[in-house]
Amino acid sequence: MTEKTTYVLVHGAWHGGWCYKRVAAPLRARGHQVYTPTLTGLCERSHLLAAGVNLSTHIADIVNLLRWEELTDVVLCGHSYAGMVITGVAGLVPERIRSVVYVDAYLPEEGQNTLDMVPEPFQRSFQASAARNGGLVIPPFPSEILGVNPRDRAWVDAQCTSQPYATFLECVAGRGAVERLGKRMYVYASGWGETPFTAIHERLKANPSWTLREAPCGHDVMVDMPELLVELLLEAA
């Protein structure tokens, strides 16, 4: 009998739990328990957007899910910005986590924030975008910029909502806890050129304690290559 695993799949900036539909359904069909929470202030929870929503809010979203759903031995997956979130979660409740999967995601050192981890042109773009929107939010980038396949671009663009800017400014702790977990995987999306995640992937090549995998597609691996991501999540378990 196949072991049943609990997965918590955390979306990146501008996205919501909807982006994991093509991944969650086949995992559930195999009998696994899958949660795809949407972080505060985004998508179906966009009515909760407020100036106080920051990275700590999003870390609390996931920590509270684990606590009140009584989840343990979890495979915790984070895409893009959610690398910051799952790092913070690992720092607070490492005893609930079996393994972590970073999907083309930020992997911060202790005390880094998102802006620290992006090239200067991205920093300027984020700062200018936030300034045009009262310092509160960054509207979503067109999915074409993220390398989403042409067939799904209209869908992804329609689903995305503005990201609370404060989430990019707050520093996070927890990298040490991540490194002490039993299993760590990084999935690098190699199909959209030189990206903020290329350098992270290159650094991890020198760390044999990480399992490195590659997805030859755009940034939204769960949209472009969901079957591959399902197999990698099963491997991470």
Please identify every residue annotated as catalytic: 80
What angle separates helix 21-29 from helix 226-236, to the nearest 10 degrees? 50
Torsions phi, psi of 158, nearest 5? Answer: -70, -25
**DSSP letters along 155-176, please?**
HHHHH--PEEGGGGT--B--HH
∠ CA 32-38-43 to the nearest 5 degrees? 135
Q: What is the largest CA-CA distance in the chain?
A: 55
99: helix, coil or strand?
strand
Please compute Rg for the chain using Cα positions: 16
Beta pairing, strands 33-35 & 6-10: parallel
